[in-house]
Amino acid sequence: MWRRSFNSTAGSATSTLKDKKWDALVIGGGHNGLTAAAYLARGGLSAAVLERRHVIGGAAVTEELIPGFKFSRCSYLQSLLRPSVIRELQLGKHGLKLLKRNPSSFTPCLDGRYLLLGPDKDLNYSEISKFSKRDADAYPRYEHQLENFCKFVDPLLDSPPPESLHDISSLSDRVKNKIQKSVFWARCLRQAISLGQKDMVDFMDLLLSPASKVLNNWFEADVLKATLATDAVIGTTASVHTPGSGYVLLHHVMGETDGERGIWSYVEGGMGSVSTAIGNAASEAGAHIVTNAEVMLADGTRVYASVVLSNATPYKTFMELVPNNVLADDFTRAIKFSDYSSGTTKINVAVDKLPEFQCCKLSHPNSGPQHVGTIHIGSESMEEIDSACQDAVNGIPSRRPVIEMTIPSVLDKTISPPGKHVINLFVQYTPYKPLNGGWEDPAYRESFAKKCFSLIDEYASGFSTSVIGYDMLTPPDLEREIGLTGGNIFHGAMGLDSLFLMRPVKGWSNYKTPLKGLYLCGSGAHPGGGVMGAPGRNAAHLVLKNVNKPLNDISI
């Protein structure tokens, strides 16, 4: 039996929690924790969610940081949320509305050219042909190959890895476990055979290679390669030349919007609407959600539950929340020395007008196609991206940062005052502890923000003067405010040594932990980071299976 102490400012909520023994407690009201609670409640368990902050959502949250401007404070685009979660929890009924982006990306160049890409194949061909006819011909084949790879990986996302279990005592259980693993690997073998040897070799090449090698093998135009390469390094400390960065590229194209593969969308009302919809589904199913409730090791209200699911990072779960000296040393070392590094800073900006890009003379009274998708600033070549990374390796924020700019208010009219806009800047690379200053210094912080604004000015003159106000989250801020260890948006690196049977650590990949009754349900577990919902769903199904509760028509 688990006993957990917590502090809560909500008196009635505290009373409700302590007055009963719960089947399951979920630590952390991020989207995965809420997803887990929804499935647990739908499966017949009494479930409660304890969220430290005043608002649910974790990194998928909307906050009005400047009066009238509602920001997706951390995560800012949707594509990876599993179709099974959207369908089974009926998130559309609970308020989720996706706003597709077409075109989906815009890369301005200082020489006066630009590249637009999106779901329109004719547009892609025309745009890429401006830089290379050969690349325009190759691009559909590149997309087709990645789509085939995504189909191969897709079934792995919605189920636990075939982990060797640690607590099997009976012969029948051991035989059953072996049969289940054999069935899993046989299915993988059939998929590999259907993929074919050539594509399987290409798939392994993608997993193991630097993104630069993959893209150089396909294309010749610098701006196209750099635009695609940003998906391989976003949210990481890796360079485009880092082996294994090809997988991160695949990870960011494996999602979909309304059945369209690789399409990223805005969410009406900001990314907090994703969490709100999941929270509504959980509440409708009977889950109890409490905010301002921080799990602590100090004295406080005691809540009893049969199982606990942690949506916190593996480091926070095992190194901060679990009592000392209850875990084996080898497990503790593996968790402690996992890679939680981050080079990411998120800047949320309120502006009084849209940026006007010198290279793009498209005439539109308000917004144009250049404002709809992700705008890549400082990414005209892979060498630029690598140079920005090397600055961080040397201990300083990138002198010319890599910036992904999005303007959701172009499509979402609910998040900003008329005529004004919300702008997200996802910036790399920013060391957790810079050698030339500290993020706790207001002047140092402001100088970096102004550096980012000045870089945008090079492509859209006057941007800096349009800024009404901004909010900046550096890696230490992401750790302190959102609970992301090291500021890592994925709850831990997504390298090949930290995926599938190796996530979060070798031997413990199926959501169970060395402590009986404690499960992981966050992005630090399989299949990893992003607003997916898969870890929460998979963990909940495992709990339901272990406590022998019916699944109530939930398909697995």
In the predicted structure, residue 421 carries a pLDDT above the cut 90:
yes
pLDDT at 71: 98
- The pair of structure tokens assigned to 497 is 């040594």
Q: Which of 237-251, 302-316, 519-533 has the lowest mean pLDDT?
A: 237-251
Return the closest-CA partner of residue 2 out of 20, 17, 22, 16.
Answer: 22
Residue 363 banded pLDDT, cuts 50, 70, 90: low
Q: Please name the residue that has the structure tokens 């994703």.
A: 274
| Tens digit of each residue's pLDDT (9 = 90 or more) over 374-409 | 999 988 999 999 999 999 999 999 999 999 999 999
The mean pLDDT value for 335-349 works out to 96
Single-letter amino acid code for the residue at 60? A
Return the closest-CA partner of residue 33 out of 556, 543, 550.
Answer: 543
In the predicted structure, residue 190 carries a pLDDT above the cut 50:
yes
**Alpha-carbon torsion, ordered 258, 372, 407, 220, to 10 deg:** 100
- The pair of structure tokens assigned to 155 is 């079934």
* 31, β-bridge pairs: none
Helix (H, G, I), strand (E, B), or coil: what is residue 107?
strand
Q: Residues 303, 6: contact at Cβ < 8 Å?
A: yes
Boundaries of every domain in the chain: 2-61+271-338+493-546
Q: Residue length, the chain?
A: 556
Return the closest-CA partner of residue 278 out of 39, 23, 553, 22.
Answer: 39
Residue 7 banded pLDDT, cuts 50, 70, 90: very low
Q: Please name the residue that has the structure tokens 């996992």.
A: 338
Distance of CA 255 to the CA centre of its chain: 11
Distance of CA 309 to the CA centre of its chain: 19
Return the closest-CA partner of residue 21 out of 304, 302, 286.
Answer: 304
pLDDT at 11: 43
What span, in angstroms and rounded, lies between the C-alpha atoms of 169 and 163? 16
pLDDT at 364: 60
pLDDT at 300: 61
* DSSP H or E stretch at residue 260: strand 260-261
The mean pLDDT value for 224-252 works out to 89
Sign of the torsion angle spanned by Cα atoms 119, 120, 121, 127: negative
Mean pLDDT of the chain: 90
In the predicted structure, residue 556 carries a pLDDT above the cut 60:
no
Whether domain 2-61+271-338+493-546 has CATH 3.50.50.60: the reply is: yes
> Which of the two residues, 556 and 2, has the higher pLDDT score?
2
| Tens digit of each residue's pLDDT (9 = 90 or more) over 533-553 | 999 999 999 999 988 644 443
What span, in angstroms and rounded, lies between the C-alpha atoms of 215 and 283? 45
The reply to whether the predicted model has a pTM over 0.75 is yes
DSSP string, 497-520: GGSGGGSSSTT--SSB-SSTTEEE
Q: Which of 287-301, 357-371, 475-489 has the lowest mean pLDDT?
A: 287-301
| Tens digit of each residue's pLDDT (9 = 90 or more) over 32-64 | 999 999 999 999 999 999 999 999 999 999 999
Q: Residues 454, 464: contact at Cβ < 8 Å?
A: yes
CA angle (507, 32, 228) in 5-degree steps:
85
What span, in angstroms and rounded, lies between the C-alpha atoms of 83 and 281? 15
The mean pLDDT value for 427-446 works out to 97
pLDDT at 138: 97
DSSP string, 151-163: HHHHHHHTS---P
The distance in angstroms from the start CA to the end CA of the chain is 28
**Alpha-carbon torsion, ordered 48, 91, 32, 424, to 10 deg:** -130
What span, in angstroms and rounded, lies between the C-alpha atoms of 26 and 537? 13
pLDDT at 482: 95
Give residue 500's region: left, alpha or beta (phi > 0; psi -120 to 50): left
The mean pLDDT value for 149-167 works out to 86
pLDDT at 139: 96
- The pair of structure tokens assigned to 434 is 């810079």
The mean pLDDT value for 499-527 works out to 95
Residue 299 banded pLDDT, cuts 50, 70, 90: very low
